[in-house]
């Protein structure tokens, strides 16, 4: 299993896999559940970040168990999805953004595998937090499909589960954030520490607080995800067979040794 999909809000089943089975993977951080199936003759993993029925809030996701489990199963490439609000007028509802950097405003989460002890202390380089090779495959595939997908954007991660205030959104805009969400940190950090190639497909579901003309709701997020679900599935389905067998990036080289 070299490729896995991590589904965010609204993506609890990518609808592309056959012969699906469920695997429970034991990790030092608890048990992670992943679905495994086949697509075009290749085994692909799928992990719903919030659980199958959106029962896990963003600050309670067991990110370390999830990423450790993927590494243990032999996954090398991760295509993740996320619903986001936009702070950038150029990124409109229904469009995709292929993220290339992040800002972290979370508060209570565990961010690393390397907390000393047997794991040691590793200061991982984050010059390139998202895999550039995966992003370029996604960019080319979206263009081929005629899907609006921006090449690059800065994801600002907040603690949640509440939405942000207008003042917080003004701060994020001033600091260079284009998008705001609640889940990508520490997921991208842990994936990078584990040497996984990680690409994030962010779907804009709304303009952020103070920019949107109406109050925000989770139902609004799910409605846009539902409307744009076909484009997301098409993008993932067309991207998977285009991912090179050999990795031509530095993602694996920047990893620490997590002992899986």
Name residue, tokens 């709701």: 217
Spatial separation of the C-alpha atoms in residues 215 and 180, rounded to whole Å: 16
pLDDT above 60 (res 9): no
SS3 251: coil
Q: Would you list the domain boundaries of the chain?
A: 3-242
Q: What is the pLDDT of residues 135-155, one digit of tens each?
A: 999 999 999 999 999 999 999
Question: Mean pLDDT across the stretch 229-248?
Answer: 93
Spatial separation of the C-alpha atoms in residues 165 and 168, rounded to whole Å: 5
Average pLDDT along the chain: 90
Q: What is the pLDDT of residues 23-69, one digit of tens each?
A: 999 999 999 999 999 999 899 999 988 777 677 999 999 999 999 99
Detail the DSSP E strand segments found in the chain.
3-7, 18-27, 30-39, 42-48, 77-86, 96-98, 101-105, 149-151, 154-158, 179-181, 197-207
pLDDT above 70 (res 85): yes
**Distance in angstroms between the alpha carbons of the first and the last residue of the chain:** 15
Lowest-pLDDT range, 25-39, 69-83, 112-126, 246-260?
A: 246-260
Q: What is the pLDDT of residues 156-215, one digit of tens each?
A: 999 999 999 999 999 999 999 999 999 999 999 999 999 999 999 999 988 887 786 667
Superfamily of domain 3-242: Nucleoside phosphorylase domain (3.40.50.1580)
């Amino acid at each position: 299993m070299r490729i896995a999909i991590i589904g965010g809000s609204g993506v609890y089943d990518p609808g592309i896999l056959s012969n699906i089975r469920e695997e429970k993977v034991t990790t030092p951080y608890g048990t992670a559940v992943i679905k495994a199936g086949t697509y075009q003759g290749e085994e692909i993993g799928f992990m719903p970040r919030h659980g199958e029925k959106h029962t896990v809030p963003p600050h309670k996701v067991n990110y370390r168990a999830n990423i450790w489990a993927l590494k243990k199963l032999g996954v090398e490439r991760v295509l993740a999805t996320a619903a986001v609000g936009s702070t950038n007028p150029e990124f409109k509802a229904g469009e995709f953004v292929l993220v290339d950097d992040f800002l972290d405003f979370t508060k209570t989460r565990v961010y690393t595998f390397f907390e000393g002890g047997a794991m040691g202390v590793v200061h991982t380089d984050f010059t390139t937090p998202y895999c550039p090779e995966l992003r370029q495959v996604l960019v080319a595939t979206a263009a081929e499909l005629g899907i609006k997908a921006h090449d690059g954007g800065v994801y600002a991660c907040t603690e949640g589960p509440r939405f942000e205030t207008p003042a917080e959104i003004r701060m994020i805009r001033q600091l260079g954030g284009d998008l705001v969400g609640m889940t990508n940190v520490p997921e991208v950090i842990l994936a990078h520490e584990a040497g996984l190639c990680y690409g994030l497909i962010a779907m804009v579901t709304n303009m952020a607080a103070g920019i949107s003309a109406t109050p925000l709701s989770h139902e609004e997020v799910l409605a846009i995800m539902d409307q744009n679900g076909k484009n997301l599935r098409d993008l993932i389905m067309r991207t998977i067979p285009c991912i090179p067998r050999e990795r031509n990036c530095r993602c694996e080289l920047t990893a620490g040794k997590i002992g899986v």
